[in-house]
Structure 1
Amino acid sequence: MKLRILLLLGLYISFATYGQKKTKYESFKNELTQKKYAPEMVLDKAMNYTSQNDIYVSELIDACRFFTSDRRKYRICVNAYPKVIDKRNFFQVYDLFSSFSFAMKLYHNTQANQNVISQIDYPNADYYHGIITNTCKQPMSEYQFNNLYNKRGNRRNYTVNDLKDIISHNCLSTAQIMKLTEMVQSNGERFELLQFSFPYSFDLENFYYTEQLINENYLKQRLIRFIDLEITKINNQPGYNNCLPLSQNEFEYVLKSIKDERFSKERLQLAKQHLERNCFSIPRIRAIVNEFSFDKDKLDILKVSFQNCPEKDQFYKLKETLSFSRYKREFDQFLLNN
C-alpha cells in the first residue's frame, strides 16, 4: 500500500513539474508572437529564456522558427545547448539552417565540445565564413597565440593599455580576444577593451560571444548594440563582399545535397539558397549549373550566383553552359545590365 502511494506521489510530482515547464514555455512562446516587440527585443527574450530554463529540442526548434536569420538561430542554439534536456536529439536542430557553414559551426561549438567543461563558451573560427575586414584576414595560429599569452609569468599584471597594444599589432580570433580580455577584472575595462578590439577580430560575427565576459546587463546590452552597429556599417560599405569561399569538403557536401534532391523544383531552390549565402568560383558555379537539364533553370542559377562570385570579370565564360540562343541572349543582356 505504501509503495503504491509513493509511486502515485512520484507520478503526480513528475506531471506537475512537466505541466509547469510547458506552461512556462507556452508563456515564453506567446511573448515571441507579440508584434509590439522589435526584432532585437524578441532576440533578447529568446536569449534570456534559453539561458535560464531547461528546454527540449522540439521547443528550441519551435522558438528558432520565429527568426529568419541563420546568425540569430545560431546564437540562440549555442546559448540554449547547456540547458537542452534531450541532447541526444540535438542533431535535429541542424536542419534549421539554410547555410551549411552555420550548421557546421554549431556542431563544433556544441556537441563536438560536449566533453570539455568550461564556464566560458569560446567560438571556433576554423569554419568561419562570415564578414571580415581588410585589417584582419587570417587569425594568429593557436601556437603563436599560446606563446604570446604565456609570455609573462603573471598575466594579471597586464593593464588595459598593454592588452590594447598586443591586440592592435595582431589579427586575432574572437576566442583569442576573449582570453586576453579575461585578464582584466572590471566590467568597465572589459567593455572598453572589447570595443577597441572589434576591428582586430577575424571572425567578426562571432564577436557576440564576448557578451559572456560582461556581468552588468546595461554594459552587456551596450556591447551587443555596438556589435550590431559595426557589422551593419561593414555590410553597408559600397562594394563590400562579405563572404569567403567554402572549403573543398564543404563544397562537395553542397554539391551532393543538390544531387540528392529528387525533384527539380526542390533541387533548384536548394541550389539558389547556397548560392545566395556563399561565394563560389567559376568552376564551382559551372559544376552546380551542370546538375540541371533545362536552360531556364540554368539561367536562374547563373543570375543568382553572379552577386557573390569573386570572379565577375570571368563570368562570361559560363555562357557555354547554356544550349539555346534565346537564353544565351538573355544571359548577355543580364551581364550588360550588371
Structure 2
Amino acid sequence: MKKIMVLILVLGTTAATYAQDFNNNRADYGRPYAQRYRRILSPGEFARMQDMIKREPFKDGKRNIFKLALQGRYLLVDQLNDVLKQITFDDEKLDWALMAYPFTADTQHFYQLRDKFSFISTRDKFDQFLQTAVDNDRPRRKDVFSRDEFARLQVLVNKEPFKDSKKKLIEAALQRNLVTVAQVSELLRQFTFDDDKLDVALMAYNYTVDIQKYYLLRDQFTFLSSKEKLDKFLLSAG
C-alpha cells in the first residue's frame, strides 16, 4: 500500500504535460483523441513507473502498479513495448497488453507488439483481439504508413518464421493503417510462392489508397494463372 501511495504522489505532483505529434493529433480527430496526447506519461513519469514495477517482487503487485499508473493517463506503444520486457510469460504479457489498450494513445501501432509473444497460440489471441477492438473515444482513422513505420513493419514481417504468421501480422497492421501500391509490392516480396502473394494482394486491396495502380502488381507473380486471377479480381472490383 505504501508503494502505491508513493506512485500516486509521484504522478500527481507532475505539473507538465507531455505531448508528441505523430501527425495523428489533428483537429479532425476530435477533442477526446487530442486529449490523449496531452496526457501521455512523460519520460520521467514512465521511468519512475518502470523502476517501481522492477523493484516490486510480486507479479500481482507489479500489475497493480501498472494499472494505477494508467488511471487518467495514456502511454505509447513504444512505452508499452518496454513494459512488456519486464514480463516473462506469454499469458501475463497478453493480459497486460489488453489491459493497456484503452490507455494507449497510438493504437494504430499496437500490432507492433505481436513479436513480444513467444507462442503462436498467444499471437493468435492477440490478432483476434485487434480485429474486434474498438476505440470508444475516437473514430478509427487510418493514415498511410510513413516511410519509417513501413520499414518497421517490414522488419517485423521478416522476423516471422512462418508464412501464415506473416499474413496475420500484415492483416493486423492493415486494420488501422493504409498502404500504397508500392508498399504492397514490397510486402509481396516477403513471400516466395504465388499463392501467398495473391492472398496478401487481395487482402491489401481495400486498404490501398492508389488502387488505380494495382495492376502494376502483376509483375510480382511468376505464373500466368496467378496474373489472371489478379486480373479477374481487379476487373470485378472495378
* TM-score tier (shorter): 0.3 to 0.5
Q: TM-score, normalised by structure 1?
A: 0.34
Work out which of the two has the higher radius of gyration on C-alpha atoms and give 1 or 2.
1
